[in-house]
Structure 1
Amino acid sequence: MVQIHDAKSPFLYFQIDSSFCLTVALVSLTIFFILVLFFLTTTAFCDPGIIPKRNYVDLSLPKGRTAFTTAKINGTIIKQYWCVNCNHFKEPRSKHCYTCNNCVSKFDHHCVWIGNCVGNRNYRRFFFFILNLSILSTIICFIFVGLFIQLCIKENGSLSFQPILYTIGEYPHITLYIIYTFPSSLLLINLFVYHLQMVLQNKTTYEDIQGLYSGDNPFDEGKFINLKKFLFTPVDKIKVEWKEIVKVSV
């Protein structure tokens, strides 16, 4: 057990049981690491909400991207443009991803880090992936900060300016870990807060970047209902029949 007491700082007086702290840290790291891997994997390999392509073109439909139909949602008229790649009118809130070459229902963004689109069917998993990754990164940062403080007190008996400089010089790798994990944690927390705002507003990243529904959002039903639907609405069934036999002309 390490007892920390700085006479110059009367408010700084606490005890650290090294074995207990190490146990808590390892258990926390293990739990959140497993959660991060789980949500990362399920997000990456989940159908994001791909809308099936039509392998024929209805000649009665107008050609070109300017062709559209309309849908009325909560009193707001929404244009559904024709997708020349998939041969159908885009569903409200859907978008054609040119990386995946598919229209995705409630398209949020294409994530290069997971190699998959984030849409209607996997956005909730992506959200919890960001949440757990933020917590994991913050825990790692706190571990290194706590270790730095413990080393500083152990070597010099206080947390004044000179002992801190001495500890930085003696343990540069600990300092580098803090320099790396601290801003990383802030960025991840900021990303999570951003997506939390999108959830509460029932808005996608694509809609936010494009400035769609910047005034009246026809999909916004209030923060509580938006959050409730986000957490408890069942995931839509897969629309693409992946086991379907496709005939290819050679």
Structure 2
Amino acid sequence: MRGYVTFPIIIVLTAIGYLYYTTLFVLIDGWLGLSTAAGFANAAVFTALAVVVVVTYGIAVFKDPGRVPYSFSPDIEHSESPIHEIKRKGGDLRFCQKCSHYKPPRAHHCRTCKRCVLRMDHHCVWINNCVGHENYKAFLIFVFYGVIACIHSMVLLVGSASYALHNDQEHNAGSFNISYIICGILLLPLTIALIVLLGWHIYLILQNKTTIEYHEGVKAMWLAEKVGNVYRHPYDLGIYENLKWVLGPSIFCWFCPVTKNLGSGLRFRTAYDVPLSTFPT
């Protein structure tokens, strides 16, 4: 259930704690020294990154991703809803038999959470929660700052390990810390995985898609091309509008851990609302 601390969450928090301790008290202290200006500056920056990572991770874990109100009913005459998502078979409005209510646009039923989630992207086992309308930015910011923290730690690892090896060669000592090896084994695949995940979600944001909509769009594009039509994602408003819809109305708050979401998650602007002159190419 959402909000429960599960084993994958314990793994994530343990990895964060271990990397933080190793980066500060092994890498920085062993190479630059925490009492030096360079060491203190790197420790302060890495600590700030770690705090943002933990805070955004907590928001992604505990924040409700978006619940469909029981009173929701699609208004086919609503001026702000030019399109309505329908079932592939039959063409009826999307209705969740398990939740016994209509599905708003971009909402999907999560079999793990056992309910419908607004603008559902996917269910993530590492946060024991769905990534949806209300916590998508927190999840994205967590990954973004996680990448920066990992790269920072990786640079410190390389520098500190090189310094330690150089000292060992000069003094014929064998003091190379096993923590370097453990940190490298943990840090390298984690950095690569987070970079790939961040790149994937940047790609989705630029097109205003969710992971579910991407896979649905692949099939829709294939069907459209089969009959000679061109498929266009209906929620693609152009790069800037797409970024603003996910990250917030103010560009100065795009990288802030917390910001107000645009809209309620029940209705979304579509490409049909955008003038042709501003249509994405």
Q: Structure 1 length as normaliser, TM-score?
A: 0.70
Pick one of 191, 194, 198 that aligns with 1:188: 194
- The answer as to 2:58 corresponding to 1:48 is no
Label 1:88 to 1:74 Cα distance change in 2 as closer, same or farther (>3 A).
closer
Instruction: Report the Cα distance in structure 2 between the residues aligned to 1:86 and 1:170, rounded to whole angstroms.
Output: 58
Label 1:48 to 1:217 Cα distance change in 2 as closer, same or farther (>3 A).
same
Instruction: Report the Cα distance in structure 2 between the residues aligned to 1:232 and 1:104, rounded to whole angstroms.
Output: 20
| Residues 118 and 265, structure 2, Cα contact 8 Å, conserved in 1 | no
Runs of 5+ consecutive residues of structure 1 not aligned to the other structure? 1-15, 55-68, 158-162, 240-250
Instruction: Report the Cα distance in structure 2 between the residues aligned to 1:99 and 1:78, rounded to whole angstroms.
Output: 23
Instruction: Report the Cα distance in structure 1 between the residues aligned to 2:103 and 2:264, rounded to whole angstroms.
Output: 18
Task: Summarize deviations over 1:28-63 as a string: whole Å, max 9, x none.
Answer: 221011101111112222121110347xxxxxxxxx
Tell me the residue number matched to 1:38: 55
Tell me the residue number matched to 2:236: 220
| Residues 119 and 265, structure 2, Cα contact 8 Å, conserved in 1 | no
% same residue: 29
Task: Summarize deviations over 1:142-180 as a string: whole Å, max 9, x none.
Answer: 2211111111233336xxxxx9xx98x944431332232
Tell me the residue number matched to 2:138: 125
Tell me the residue number matched to 2:85: 78
Q: How far is 1:183 from its partner? A: 2.0
Pick one of 153, 163, 166 that aligns with 1:153: 166
| Residues 35 and 129, structure 1, Cα contact 8 Å, conserved in 2 | yes
Structure having the larger proportion of residues in helix: 2
Instruction: Report the Cα distance in structure 1 between the residues aligned to 2:160 and 2:131, rounded to whole angstroms.
Output: 38
Alignment of 1:8-47 (within 5 A): 18=33, 19-47=36-64
| Residues 165 and 176, structure 2, Cα contact 8 Å, conserved in 1 | no
Amino acid at match of 1:174: Y
Label 1:74 to 1:200 Cα distance change in 2 as closer, same or farther (>3 A).
farther
Label 1:90 to 1:72 Cα distance change in 2 as closer, same or farther (>3 A).
farther
> Rg larger in 1 or in 2?
1
| Residues 48 and 117, structure 1, Cα contact 8 Å, conserved in 2 | yes
Label 1:173 to 1:45 Cα distance change in 2 as closer, same or farther (>3 A).
closer
Tell me the residue number matched to 1:204: 210
Q: Structure 2 length as normaliser, TM-score?
A: 0.63
Q: How far is 1:74 from its partner? A: 9.0
Instruction: Report the Cα distance in structure 2 between the residues aligned to 1:232 and 1:51, rounded to whole angstroms.
Output: 21
| Residues 138 and 182, structure 1, Cα contact 8 Å, conserved in 2 | no
| Residues 145 and 178, structure 1, Cα contact 8 Å, conserved in 2 | no
| Residues 74 and 218, structure 1, Cα contact 8 Å, conserved in 2 | no
Runs of 5+ consecutive residues of structure 2 not aligned to the other structure? 1-30, 87-92, 222-230, 250-259, 267-281
Q: How far is 1:129 from its partner? A: 1.0
Tell me the residue number matched to 1:175: 181
Tell me the residue number matched to 2:246: 230
Which has the larger displacement, 172-181 or 43-52? 172-181
Q: May I ask how many residue pairs the two structures share in their alignment?
A: 203
Structure having the larger proportion of residues in strand: 1
RMSD: 3.3
